[in-house]
Structure 1
Amino acid sequence: MTVIQGVVEHGDERGRTLGFPTANIQLFDDQIEDGVWAAVIRTDSGKSWIAAVSIGRRQTFYAQAGDKLLEAHLLDFNEDLYGRKLTVTLTAKLRDQHTFASIHALAEQLPHDVAATRGWAQQHYPWLVPPGSHPSESGARRWPEQRPRTVVAAQ
């Protein structure tokens, strides 16, 4: 497992436009493996959430790869995280990064990534998955303390 800590920054809001808002943390550590991950995120309030996390340079949107970025879609979550410190634990790699042929192709993939994340969480962290997995039934639950490798991102 890899743990990344950083402060949520404003992004291009493409995820929000596609129906999957993300918390964005700029990364300066190239040792963090690109890909789409199932993750557990702890907010600065101490609550934990399951998230589908993309780590990469957003090559679908930029001809030349941009800065390395962590983009986390917290499942069943609808609060403002801008400026807040998050601790992101990457727990299971779901797939490699892809350069999609279009934004539409990316938009078609996102529900599959979220479903894979939710399925993984139901097996490994069921106490963090709200009953019925409907946003109105969401509620953060405490996450057991772990001490894997920690990487500090943009502060």
Structure 2
Amino acid sequence: MQVIRIHHPLNKQLIADQPVVLAMGFFDGVHLGHQLVIKTAKKIADQRGLPLAVLTYNHSPAVVYHRLPGGAKYLTTINQKAELMSRLGVSVMYVVDFTSQYGAQSPQQFVDNYLMAFHPEVAVAGEDHTFGRGVAATMSNLPSLANERFQVVAVPTMENGLSKIGTSRIRRQIMAGELDLATQGLGRPYQTTGLVVHGFARGRQIGFPTINIDSPSSTVIPALGVYVTRVKVGHHWYGGMANIGHNETFGDGAPRTVEINLFDFHQLVYGEEVVVEWYSRLRDGVKFASVEELVTQMRVDQQAAKAYLASHPRKMANTTWC
């Protein structure tokens, strides 16, 4: 799959001169609702014998339109999003830099200057998708803006129970430590990426060596607590238990860290980029009265994590599990 970056004003030479089915959206998380949009577009593309293209953005439009206290937080990086799109059968992913000038276009200008440049026979998006500022930039208005130059397909919102499956909801679940609920909406366990960095080596000193993960500041990190995880180091996955906390037992005022004790793992991997797959939350973070009490609890946590992983074998990679 090709990934093509686009900056306003559009350089049309970057776009292949061929008709496509075009799926539109920010698609942060590529959750089950997003997957329905992509799969709908893929089905149409296959029926018409056309490639499937995706139009997405480098960051949330909210960065341009609103102040975001604490900065924008995302469920997927561009690379993660591209990997998931590829597995869903996307041929090319156009990543537009969402800037003030790009966002200042009227809905009609967006259709005339951008959508038409991608040569869509069909444009597909979720029914609640918007493509600019103002009441006219909605899927219900897109057919009139298209003026019969391409077909428009609005995909109904997917629900889990009585609630919409949406990025904001999944983000809140992860930040609350509700990983089981987030997995249901994503259709796969939540993943983060990060760099293995040096810590204080306290885990090694008490018999539970850990790798310390430094993730991008824009990544959504689960709530403080202890979790069951799997970590991809190189080409291999290893089970483990993660602690997100401030090392309270060793004193107050420490920064938040993500430390993972990997099972049956004895390598030095500083500087490695790893993928963390987050499963169930075992417990809240606790300040123990002594190191001995901490070690006793970690033994209990380790057994619980191993039992969870044994009863939840990792699925092979497919369109809903990366």
Q: Give the superposition deviation at 1:56.
A: 1.2
Contact 2:241 2:261 in 1 (8 A): yes
1:32 aligns with 2:222: yes
What SS does structure 2 have at the residue aligned with 1:60?
Answer: helix
In the superposition, the TM-score normalised over structure 2's length comes to 0.38
More helix as a share of residues: 2
Q: Give the superposition deviation at 1:18.
A: 0.7
Q: Distance in 1 between matches of 2:221 and 2:238?
A: 24
Q: 1:144 aligns with which of 299, 306, 316?
A: 316
Contact 2:246 2:252 in 1 (8 A): no
| RMSD across aligned positions (CA) | 1.7
Q: Give the superposition deviation at 1:34.
A: 1.0
Q: Distance in 2 between matches of 1:110 and 1:12?
A: 18
2:211 corresponding residue in structure 1: 23
Q: Give the superposition deviation at 1:91.
A: 0.7
User: In the alignment, residue 208 of structure 2 is paired with which amino acid?
Assistant: F
Contact 1:9 1:25 in 2 (8 A): yes
1:151 corresponding residue in structure 2: none
1:112 aligns with 2:300: yes
2:85 corresponding residue in structure 1: none
Q: 1:101 aligns with which of 271, 286, 289?
A: 289
Q: Distance in 1 between matches of 2:239 and 2:232?
A: 9
1:42 aligns with 2:214: no
Q: Give the superposition deviation at 1:107.
A: 1.2
> How many equivalent pairs are there?
129
1:20-64 CA distance string (max 9 Å, x none)? 100001354575211100011111x21001011111111111222
What SS does structure 2 have at the residue aligned with 1:8?
Answer: strand
1:77-110 CA distance string (max 9 Å, x none)? 1111111111101111111111111111111111
User: In the alignment, residue 40 of structure 1 is paired with which amino acid?
Assistant: R
Contact 2:240 2:260 in 1 (8 A): yes
2:199 corresponding residue in structure 1: 11
2:22 corresponding residue in structure 1: none
User: In the alignment, residue 68 of structure 1 is paired with which amino acid?
Assistant: R
Pair member with larger Rg: 2
Higher relative contact order (CA closer than 8 Å, sequence separation 6+): 1
Question: Could you say if the C-alpha distance between residues 2 and 62 of structure 1 is closer, same or farther in structure 2, counting changes exceeding 3 Å?
Answer: farther
Question: Could you say if the C-alpha distance between residues 117 and 31 of structure 1 is closer, same or farther in structure 2, counting changes exceeding 3 Å?
Answer: closer
Q: Distance in 2 between matches of 1:40 and 1:98?
A: 22
How high is the sequence identity, in percent, across the aligned residues?
A: 29
Q: Distance in 2 between matches of 1:81 and 1:113?
A: 24
Unaligned runs of 5+ residues in structure 1 are 128-142, 148-155
2:245 corresponding residue in structure 1: 56
1:70 corresponding residue in structure 2: 258
Unaligned runs of 5+ residues in structure 2 are 1-188
Contact 1:26 1:67 in 2 (8 A): no
